[in-house]
């Protein structure tokens, strides 16, 4: 299990928020932490620690007055750690190359592919065309999801909109042909440090064909232990609000040591 660091950017600031509270109207979110440091500070820290495959998430919509400020912070981070970080939030076929050119190792996509509640295969194939090079595709699919009675459904538009796509091994098989990795936020517990979604972790751990990063609810070393146990160490992890870098109680270096065991 590898630790994948994060840099979440909202209203031009590095923040940690409660995921389900994010609203486009008024650029609102319930905040756990607002950093005085820029994106490049965290990127440099992750580079020094030798951490690869962390993700930057732009939390404002592309129509927001703050979106360009989010992008400015993200570019600072990408320049500080070229090819060390992935980026998501408002990524489309039209702007994916821009972020790759700025130094992103991969782009992360949800809403563009799961537009209007369905998987748009032509959009997915188009993204593959612009993100692929001689080493393969540089596309990560974010399958962030929320629970309904019969399972977990992928959500879009900054986790506000349910799609018709229920997360399953068959869906992972189909989508896995077009991406290099998956990122999955358990949105109902995201930012709450209240424990992981064990049922979701068990489902994801049955697949394991490509790298996969879980985010959401990790608030203690016991949660990390459970994640490693239920995923058989096959799923990587990211921690936001609970990490001391973002005002939490979990020590960054201790977390790294735990994940490397």
Task: Please write the tens of the pLDDT for every residue from 98-111.
Answer: 999 999 999 999 99
Task: Please report the pLDDT score of residue 259 as a whole number.
Answer: 94
If we measure between CA atoms, which residue out of 72, 17, 40 comes closest to residue 187? 17
The bridge status of strand 54-58 relative to strand 85-88 is: parallel
Task: Please report the pLDDT score of residue 158 as a whole number.
Answer: 74
Please state the φ and ψ torsions of residue 207, each to the nearest 5 degrees.
-95, -85
Across residues 67-94, what is the average pLDDT?
Answer: 96
Task: Please report the pLDDT score of residue 18 as a whole number.
Answer: 60
Across residues 238-249, what is the average pLDDT?
Answer: 93
Task: Please report the pLDDT score of residue 29 as a whole number.
Answer: 60
Which residues does residue 146 pair with via DSSP β-bridges, in sequence order? 153
Across residues 191-199, what is the average pLDDT?
Answer: 87
3-state secondary structure 111-153: CCCCHHHCCCHHHHHHHHHHHEECCEECEEEECCEEEECCEEE
Across residues 59-73, what is the average pLDDT?
Answer: 92
Say which residue, 183 or 135, is predicted with more confidence.
Answer: 183
pLDDT-derived band at 196 (thresholds 50, 70, 90) equals very high
- With a cut of 60, say whether residue 144 has pLDDT above it: yes
pLDDT-derived band at 192 (thresholds 50, 70, 90) equals confident
**E-assigned strands of the chain?**
6-10, 13-17, 31-34, 54-58, 85-88, 106-109, 132-133, 136-137, 139-142, 145-148, 151-156, 161-166, 181-185, 212-215, 236-238
The pLDDT mean for the chain works out to 92
pLDDT digits (tens, 9 = 90+) for 10-58: 999 998 876 555 545 545 566 778 889 999 999 999 999 999 999 999 9
Query: Distance between CA atoms of 256 and 2, rounded to whole angstroms?
Result: 8
> In the structure encoding, which two tokens stand for residue 79, read together?
């320049």
If we measure between CA atoms, which residue out of 90, 250, 116, 136 comes closest to residue 238? 250
Task: Please report the pLDDT score of residue 22 as a whole number.
Answer: 52
> In the structure encoding, which two tokens stand for residue 45, read together?
């820290």
Enumerate residues 6+ apart whose C-beta is below 8 A from 25: none
Please state the φ and ψ torsions of residue 62, each to the nearest 5 degrees.
-65, -20
């Amino acid at each position: 299990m590898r630790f994948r660091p994060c840099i979440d950017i909202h209203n031009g600031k590095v923040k940690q928020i409660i995921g389900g509270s994010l609203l486009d109207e008024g650029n609102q979110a319930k905040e756990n932490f607002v950093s005085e440091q820029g994106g490049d500070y965290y990127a440099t820290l992750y580079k020094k620690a030798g951490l690869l495959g962390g993700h930057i998430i732009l939390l404002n919509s592309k129509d927001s007055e703050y979106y360009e400020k989010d992008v400015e912070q993200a570019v600072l981070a990408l320049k500080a750690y070229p090819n060390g970080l992935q980026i998501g939030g408002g990524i489309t076929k039209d702007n994916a190359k821009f972020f790759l050119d700025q130094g992103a190792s991969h782009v992360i996509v949800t809403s563009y592919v799961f537009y209007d509640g369905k998987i748009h295969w032509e959009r997915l194939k188009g993204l593959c065309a612009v993100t692929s090079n001689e080493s393969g595709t540089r596309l990560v699919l974010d399958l962030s999801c929320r629970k309904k009675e019969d399972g977990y459904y992928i959500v879009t538009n900054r986790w506000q909109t349910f799609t018709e796509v229920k997360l399953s091994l068959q869906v992972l098989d189909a989508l896995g042909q077009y991406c290099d990795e998956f990122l999955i936020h358990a949105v109902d517990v995201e930012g709450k440090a209240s424990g992981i979604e064990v049922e979701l972790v068990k489902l994801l751990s049955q697949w394991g064909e490509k790298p996969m990063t879980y985010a959401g609810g990790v608030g203690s070393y016991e949660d990390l232990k459970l994640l490693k146990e239920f995923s058989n160490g096959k799923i990587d992890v990211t921690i936001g609000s609970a990490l001391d870098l973002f005002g939490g109680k979990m020590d960054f270096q201790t977390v790294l040591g735990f994940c490397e065991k």
